[in-house]
Structure 1
């Protein structure tokens, strides 16, 4: 495959138009079922109705199957005309259903993206849907079935940082904007424009992040060629993964007064405080026999992530944590940090040790170097690795949980959150810019997006919240979190729990009163 010239302007094809261009005439069969919007507020329902009227679609993705050169293939196609191709909870569910059906029916998969990322109207519950999509894609790959991706203009955010970066073969249309963070949001957050020419299909192809650039007309021939080769390859047997184990434990109150749960903005503010403990305090106060590891083993090191072999409250494990003390505007968390994180994941698998991930980040690096270093792809590969691990895994949402950099370490079998921790697809200020055109309504939007730990607990995104007392010392929080993580490691390791689904699909978890004696 050759890289096409950069002077071709991307045509904004609708999802039905792309399907008609790539598949054999008359072969497409739609798999979509109607979307229920009754649970949303009137304003959002009106936006959905207008998008549907404008595009003729009921959501931002079209799924189904057809043939290319007579070979059957499942398709998942974004439509940018429907709310900028954004991914809401129903969108994610539709994608997951299509991918799993393709897996069950033994079909190769062609996905075509054209999206601004997570749907801001739905916030964090939609954001974590990227994990479910990634898990389905990795199960599809594990079944030995081909996965092809065609990135159309534009492809940004969580879509690029998950299912858009996990294909066996990845193509993009000429001149397409392909990047982790859209340039408008970058400029709003940083006060300066993103360097020109970086987030383009041609530049990413030149840096080996995607395989080739091709027009929609050329795509049909390339898909035909790829399927002819890939479908002749032997399919390995699909190996079962062990079930996740329950982290359920009784709720026990602690003597003393406790405040009401913080507001979303109070939580955001608390986690940005300089004195707040991070992964270093967790290891120093809650760990023993700690051995720090550094680098990727390939000549690359990023100090914004910390890797260690340790015993947390006596439980042996591999820890990979985002170091809040080392993440500054001058030293943000880049793609090398995520490659270090994947080293820790591989180490845990090879040594058969439990893995603990610590999430505490204001967001991944936003720069030309990060884009060309495949920051979005590294996020996707971390998510993919997490969803396919066979050793016990516990994620600790310890502080800030901003963007794809946070999501990269989230998909564990048990997720524990500190009471003031939060998870959001963007900094609240950036989300406010997208929805309202100004960062001034960040507090309001953070509340609407259900970013705080107590909302994540209610939504089943985390399993346990360790409540923070306002009068507690930082060291107490670090010690209590280490003990809580250790409890779940013991539970997972000894196998005394009942089955639960990891990551974003569990039921409501347990609220624990911090610090608590067990």
Structure 2
């Protein structure tokens, strides 16, 4: 049995929120999953309560692991370590700071290792590290997703360097799951510090956190006492981490189960090969079927302020979408969005530029111009797609990569180059669609695909018409002339082979009818991924490399080798 505290038996009928001090009726507080109505503070849950909250009722079954009393140093401070362990067992009803179960979340199988802060502050000792590792090995053996729920003050000092070794051991276990393509998710709860934060908690595919949950390597007290550094407000909270691209999302407790259920469906994804074609509107593959048009008119429509953005299209087109954030290094670039979506039950990783609507949102999203963090976020999501074995669809709509000082300091060129190389190696189907502007390397960083399509009013170019005019005409006012010379419109792109097909838009442009545009895109994507799914990984990589190898192939000819001169 997994012990669960019974709140109904609490002596006090009222519970005081430790955050704002508000009194709450205890039974209602329990029904609301220990979340304060007034300030939103998420009170700590025991491991048993956490399992009951997240897993389907009656599905949790303890894994057959038993922890002994492990005292390698015969350590004693004011109390012998062995006595501390025995006391923790008596007060919590647990054998260790980690409870391991197998069960289901919304019908999807999962192995979960759940930490309990009451047991010696959730410290990571040899037994706790072994339990996490055994849970990971069970997930590996069964090819079932692993869920890690963390709550820890750090490594267990009473075990010396052996506790330190648990960081490496648990990290190895996560690496084995990566190699096997098994989905891993961590849920950060308050607090998660030290050796747990610096090992398995940070190494999963997706990192979720509860509001206000704190995570870091060194705790605030250690930082203040060691280097006397003043800490900013909200330091190390989930919100602080999210703003710096270190976690995927912050989810209130009541929403966690649904989010986890959607993610766990990636365990055995439905293939697009199993989905019958949707009879999509015919793609235009012959440039002669497209009217000749003024290039500047195409530029103007591609930039139309009400043209559907990537998020507009995703939320209109997909059956469900879970957005993931951050480059796991420094930032979450708002000019690039992405996550996991579903089409007819089949999952797909989607990534795209996001310009936004209205002056404030467009400025906040940097007008769709990605920073290095945006490229790294896109790359991280594409690597997850490769691990999970699901297709990638990218939506291109950017004037170009952000050209500022900060971007150059962050390695803008390197970030783009790494995406070009990465996309050349992905062993899953990749489809790229130019939905608006395709500007320079910022566009191509999402455009190395097996199939590249463009909306009929989209444009694609090595540089913006204004930039080209300023450099070659010495006059930015010559932008329309530059656009014509660059042949940026869909008809010319199709004729040059830059794109494989043109997707028709509603009369007047995609902004006239979002629903019709989204339905057309949905059908095109399903049909295309249906076709590409007949190829295996090496074939997809070979086809993609052959596609881009052909550009400019006729512009040069090999010289005769010495000894074979005419």
Give the TM-score band, short-chain normalised: 0.3 to 0.5
Length-normalised TM-score, structure 2: 0.42
**Structure with larger RCO (C-alpha < 8 A, sep 6+):** 1
Higher-Rg structure is: 2
Length-normalised TM-score, structure 1: 0.46
